[in-house]
Structure 1
Amino acid sequence: MRTMRILRVVLVSFFFQENVFGTAIVYNGFECRSAISANDITPTDIPVQSRFEVIEDVGDGVFRLSLTGGIPRFINNNPNVCIDSATAIGYSGIPDVDGLPKRRESIDATAYFNGRELVIVVSSMFTDLSARREPLSSFNTSLILPITNTLIFQFNPQAFLFSLKKIIHNRGFTHTSGATNSIIPFRETVLPSFNEIPQDTPRILTPASSIEYTLE
């Protein structure tokens, strides 16, 4: 039994290292009802596939991935799971090219796999597109949320599954408001971490139900 387990790990390690392009792990679920609330894990009836696909083997167990669909959203001590498509992939845009920022279809991620554990880091930007100019030359930018998710998986060599064990989730916040006729024309808020309250710490989340990605 131990010999077979080691053999499976070696085979999967070889598969990742030698034939990585097009290799993917996938999880099927349903889209989250709330786009922005990390505590709302109510699913809709819209099916979504969370898919991490290898696009480059950097070497030494490090890979560049492409994420489509989103990532599982859950909270501690609750078995419900939905897939966060809005904030996990987020928005991007350059005014002269795109006009307003647009929802992305995919986003890059970085992974490390040692044959037993797989760690994936995804960083995205979410905006509520609420920027506006008011009378008397006052203005507000959109609410911008930089988001980082670190997913920690354990590889099951017997079933060829990657079990999601933890997500370390952090959400920042930045916003600017002001008025051109004010003594202080700009008021900027920049918070590296704003998950529940300003300047808190990243959330360490453990799923209460099984979340398993299959290898394709």
Structure 2
Amino acid sequence: MKIAQILVFALLFLLLQSNVHGLSITYEGFECRSAVDTEDPAPDSAASVQSRFEVIEDSGGGVYRLSLTGGIPRFVDNDRTVCIDKATAIGYSGIPDIDGLPQPLDSIDATAYFNGQELIIVVSSMNTDLSARRYPLSVFSTSLIFAFTNTLIFRFDPPTSSFSLIKLFRNRGFTQTNGSTNSITPFLETILPSFNKEARDKPRILTPLAAIEYKLGN
């Protein structure tokens, strides 16, 4: 049995190295009930969704460019509940002269490294609450803008052609500018590289209690 598993692993690894374009891994689940609260993994059982990473480029040396659609699993410590987070994992993008207001994305690029046993995927996104306002007396505030980085670590299981999520490193940064053009210091900028539960905290290191299995396919 062990020899057979090694042979299956070797064949799949060669396949991944020689013809990866269009390959994907997928996980079926439900959208998160709370779009932006990353501490709330409650699913919306009426909204099924598929988290899908598709290979779009082989950069060599085990490095790949991916396209993410649907979102990524959201979970917290000491809880088996899992939902799929699109709002923060894929987020928004926009250039005023082209898009007007920032628009929610349907997909976002990711980067991966696969050594035949472990798959590491990094995806970065930005989310805004579109709350920018101008008030009387030239007072203003920009939207609340959050930058997310998610690093997913999978273990490959050759017999089932699946990838098990074993760790998730999640970090949320924050920036906002407010002030008054009539003030001596008109711009008050807040920039926090890490703001997950509170200002200047540490990135989250999460281990899922529930099995999260991505299936390999085309």
2:148 aligns with 147
Deviation at 1:6?
Answer: 1.7
1:119 aligns with 120
**Partner amino acid, structure 2, of 1:18:** S
1:25 aligns with 25
**Partner amino acid, structure 2, of 1:109:** A
1:47 aligns with 48
Q: How does 1:52-63 map to 2 (within 5 A)?
A: 52-63=53-64
Deviation at 1:2?
Answer: 2.3
Q: Give me the whole-angstrom Cα distance separating, in 2, the residues matched to 1:160 and 1:48.
A: 21
**Partner amino acid, structure 2, of 1:195:** N
**Partner amino acid, structure 1, of 2:21:** F
1:185 aligns with 186
Deviation at 1:53?
Answer: 0.1
Matched, 1:80 2:81: yes
- Contact kept? 2:9, 2:159, Cα under 8 Å: no
Deviation at 1:84?
Answer: 0.2
Give secondary structure in 1 for the equivalent of 2:159: coil
Return the TM-score normalized by structure 1: 0.98
Structure 1 unaligned spans of 5+? none
Cα root mean square deviation, aligned: 0.7
Give secondary structure in 1 for the equivalent of 2:179: strand
Matched, 1:16 2:16: yes
Greater CA deviation, 94-103 or 4-13? Answer: 4-13
% identical aligned pairs: 64
1:2 aligns with 2
Structure 2 unaligned spans of 5+? none
Q: Give me the whole-angstrom Cα distance separating, in 2, the residues matched to 1:146 and 1:15.
A: 35
Provide runs of 4+ in structure 1 moved above 2 Å.
Answer: none
Q: How does 1:188-203 map to 2 (within 5 A)?
A: 188-203=189-204
Q: Give me the whole-angstrom Cα distance separating, in 1, the residues matched to 2:93 and 2:30.
A: 24
Question: How many residues end up aligned between the 2 structures?
Answer: 216
Q: Deviations over 1:41-81 (max 9, x none)?
A: 11112011000000000001000000000000001110100
Q: Give me the whole-angstrom Cα distance separating, in 1, the residues matched to 2:59 and 2:10.
A: 19
Matched, 1:176 2:183: no
Deviation at 1:10?
Answer: 1.5
Q: Give me the whole-angstrom Cα distance separating, in 2, the residues matched to 1:7 and 1:129.
A: 53
Q: How does 1:64-79 map to 2 (within 5 A)?
A: 64-79=65-80
Deviation at 1:29?
Answer: 0.3
Q: Give me the whole-angstrom Cα distance separating, in 2, the residues matched to 1:184 and 1:93.
A: 28
Q: Give me the whole-angstrom Cα distance separating, in 1, the residues matched to 2:59 and 2:7.
A: 24
Q: Give me the whole-angstrom Cα distance separating, in 2, the residues matched to 1:159 and 1:133.
A: 56
Return the TM-score normalized by structure 2: 0.98
2:212 aligns with 211
Q: Deviations over 1:82-126 (max 9, x none)?
A: 000100000000000000000000000000001100000000000
Q: Give me the whole-angstrom Cα distance separating, in 2, the residues matched to 1:43 and 1:210.
A: 16
